[in-house]
Structure 1
Amino acid sequence: MRTDPRATIAGSDVEAVVSSVGLDSHRRTVNGIELHTVAAGDETNPLIVLLHGFPEFWYAWRAQIPPLVEAGYRVLIPDLRGYNLSEKPGGVKSYRVRESARDVVDLIATENREVAHVVGHDWGGMVAWDLGLRHPGAVDRLAVVNAPHPTAYLRQVTANPEQLSRSLYAVFFQLPWLPERVLQYDEYRILERGLRETAAPETFRDDELARYRRAWSRDGALTGMLNWYRAAARYPPIPRSERVDVPTLIVWGEDDTALVPALAVDSADRCEESRLELLPETSHWVPRETPARLTSLLLEHIDRE
């Protein structure tokens, strides 16, 4: 593992975040691949790692960066493997959740740490769950936003027809090459519409979506992003244990169109110590729709003795 301070990547995405936090953009080699990572805050402060989901990239957490830094934390946000400026290894197997969990363990080590607070949304939340289950020694406190514990998801998708119906889009993603062609059509119109129509009005502005389209258009990005779904179907993330011992906060927008709220309750039941916050009139995109509320919940959870 190494951090290359010379591999700085300037760009409007970084500049769009409040400059006062001193955001750094660089590549770090972890688990045999290079991840583009942004970092902010004093290097000696307690470390928080934020993990984005589909179809976003590190920029999804921009509203949380300044307040977390101002609260006295070091913030580290990677583009997950396959996304945006991070490496896009070949083959579906490379996108197993366990591989990305290993990426995060190594990423924490690049900060000369053995442990960090970990927060994940969507697929980043699935990585966070895997860290809590497979690498609990690397996690101080865990927070998951609209992402189900893997056992809870399996239970709901096999026993709850509503969840099965909501998950059918992922079946289409299993096909080779066709999903990439469909999502690329007309300047990524379907992906853009998927964000706009599943979120509260004005959640995703035009200028922000332009940044997302740039991330989606990078060589190999769409295939890398879709391979997360393909890997989950071919190599299900079955953990060695179903119980999470790490103190866990679960935040759930109840108006999520892809995931039923029962998943949040089932997930909390699989934690030794959990706090569940259900947010009414909030969609899947909690970090974007209720950024101040989410940040407040994270700080309450992390600061708790």
Structure 2
Amino acid sequence: MNKLETLFIKTNKTILHTIVAGPKNGPLIILLHGFPEFWYGWRHQIDPLINQGYRVIIPDQRGYNLSQKPTTIHNYTINNLRDDIVGIIEFFQREKAVIVGHDWGGLVAWHLASTKPQYIEQLVIINSPHPVIMKQLQCYFPTQWFKSVYLLFFQIPQLPDALFKLNQFQLFEQILKLTSKKGTFSDDEMRKYKSSWAEEGAITSMLNWYRALYKDSINQVVKTKIHLPVLIIWGQEDTFLSLKLAMNSKQFCSNAKLLMIDGTHWIHLEQPEIVNALMCKFLSGNNCT
């Protein structure tokens, strides 16, 4: 792996621990992780993107790992999450960046593209529905409602927080391993995840993203058509999100390509060579190795 630099960037009144790599004058690409990951979730994408000449920026999003953890739910609204990324782009004195998002990182990326598209060059989404789709989730077919029942559980104060902390985060570990292809998360990699979850206040802060979703964020999402070039990559065996959500998300774009490949919600970790090749071909028209 190429040399990684660590920065603590103040953005939108919050300090984000951020990993930076690649040529300083290269085009900016920001990778946004989801729940319950942190910057390390993009470990397989760093070198290929650097080899394509990109300046790679991977923040621990607010509430995660070594980043600051505001205590109130309101601090985790989707507008705040979006503005964190705007602040990162401005910190590097750039006008635009390529944005790549998975899971919750994808929701933030979608929202940035919908509300402040001037900051985005191109958009890559991995297994993450458009926020308007999340807002309308109760209208979808029963199987998707069943898949998403955990969203209601996360709204309960304190109980899910306590359960996730039990037995060295056993529940988190089981969820990751049971919803991914066998061998996706090694024991050493899982230790790194557990270290991030053990940071003081991390579990509650991570869950506050979901709690803010149905308190404030749901009213902040917009249906504005996205005219940027968009690539949607979707693992077809996603335990949490159906293919219908991917297809419906594409309808919010005028210039989008949807590629469905063999894998689960964690496709960027299971099939990194395929994901990297598809992503870099979309971004530059060349294969990425």
Q: Which residue of 2 aligns with 1:73?
A: 54
Q: Which residue of 2 aligns with 1:273?
A: 255
TM-score by length of 2: 0.96
CA contact (8 A) 1:150 1:237 kept: no
Q: List alignment gaps of at least 5 residues for structure 1.
A: 1-17
The answer to whether the aligner puts 1:260 opposite 2:237 as a matched pair is no
Q: Which residue of 2 aligns with 1:119?
A: 100
The structure 1 residue matched to 2:145, chosen from 135, 151, 164, is 164
Query: Residue type matched to 2:257 in 1?
Result: R
Q: Which residue of 1 aligns with 2:278?
A: 297
Q: Deviations over 1:9-57 (max 9, x none)?
A: xxxxxxxxx1xx2210120000001000000011101111000000000
The structure 1 residue matched to 2:38, chosen from 51, 57, 67, is 57
Q: Which residue of 1 aligns with 2:85?
A: 104
CA contact (8 A) 2:230 2:256 kept: yes
Q: Which residue of 1 aligns with 2:19?
A: 38
Give the distance between the partners of 2:170 and 2:89, measured in 1 at CA: 36
Deviation at 1:304, TM superposition (A): 4.4
Report how many aligned residue pairs link the two structures. Answer: 285
Q: Which residue of 1 aligns with 2:120?
A: 139
CA contact (8 A) 2:32 2:100 kept: yes
Deviation at 1:62, TM superposition (A): 0.7
Say which SS state the counterpart of residue 50 (structure 1) adopts.
strand
Q: Deviations over 1:264-305 (max 9, x none)?
A: 10011110100000013x000011001111111111111149
Deviation at 1:156, TM superposition (A): 4.3
CA contact (8 A) 1:150 1:238 kept: no
Say which SS state the counterpart of residue 232 (structure 2) adopts.
strand
Give the distance between the partners of 1:111 and 1:74, measured in 2 at CA: 10
CA contact (8 A) 2:79 2:220 kept: no
Residue correspondence of structure 1 range 147-186 to structure 2 within 5 A: 147-186=128-167
Give the distance between the partners of 2:219 and 2:110, measured in 1 at CA: 10
Say which SS state the counterpart of residue 128 (structure 2) adopts.
coil
Percent of aligned positions that are identical: 40
Give the distance between the partners of 1:136 and 1:54, measured in 2 at CA: 24
Give the distance between the partners of 1:240 and 1:180, measured in 2 at CA: 30
Q: Which residue of 2 aligns with 1:251?
A: 233
Deviation at 1:88, TM superposition (A): 0.2
Deviation at 1:112, TM superposition (A): 1.0
Give the distance between the partners of 1:283 and 1:93, measured in 2 at CA: 31
CA contact (8 A) 1:244 1:270 kept: yes
Q: Deviations over 1:34-93 (max 9, x none)?
A: 000000011101111000000000000011001110111110000000000000011101
Query: Taking structure 1 as reference, are residues 98 and 169 closer, same or farther at Cα in structure 2, changes over 3 Å only?
Result: same
The answer to whether the aligner puts 1:242 opposite 2:224 as a matched pair is yes
Q: Deviations over 1:136-171 (max 9, x none)?
A: 000000010000012233344323111111110111
Deviation at 1:241, TM superposition (A): 3.4
Query: Residue type matched to 1:164 in 2?
Result: W
Say which SS state the counterpart of residue 234 (structure 1) adopts.
coil
The answer to whether the aligner puts 1:191 opposite 2:172 as a matched pair is yes
Deviation at 1:242, TM superposition (A): 3.2
Query: Residue type matched to 2:118 in 1?
Result: G
Say which SS state the counterpart of residue 27 (structure 1) adopts.
strand
Q: Deviations over 1:78-133 (max 9, x none)?
A: 00000000000111010111111100011011111010000000000000001100
Give the distance between the partners of 1:293 and 1:242, measured in 2 at CA: 31
CA contact (8 A) 1:96 1:237 kept: no
The answer to whether the aligner puts 1:226 opposite 2:203 as a matched pair is no
CA RMSD in angstroms comes to 1.2
Give the distance between the partners of 1:231 and 1:92, measured in 2 at CA: 6
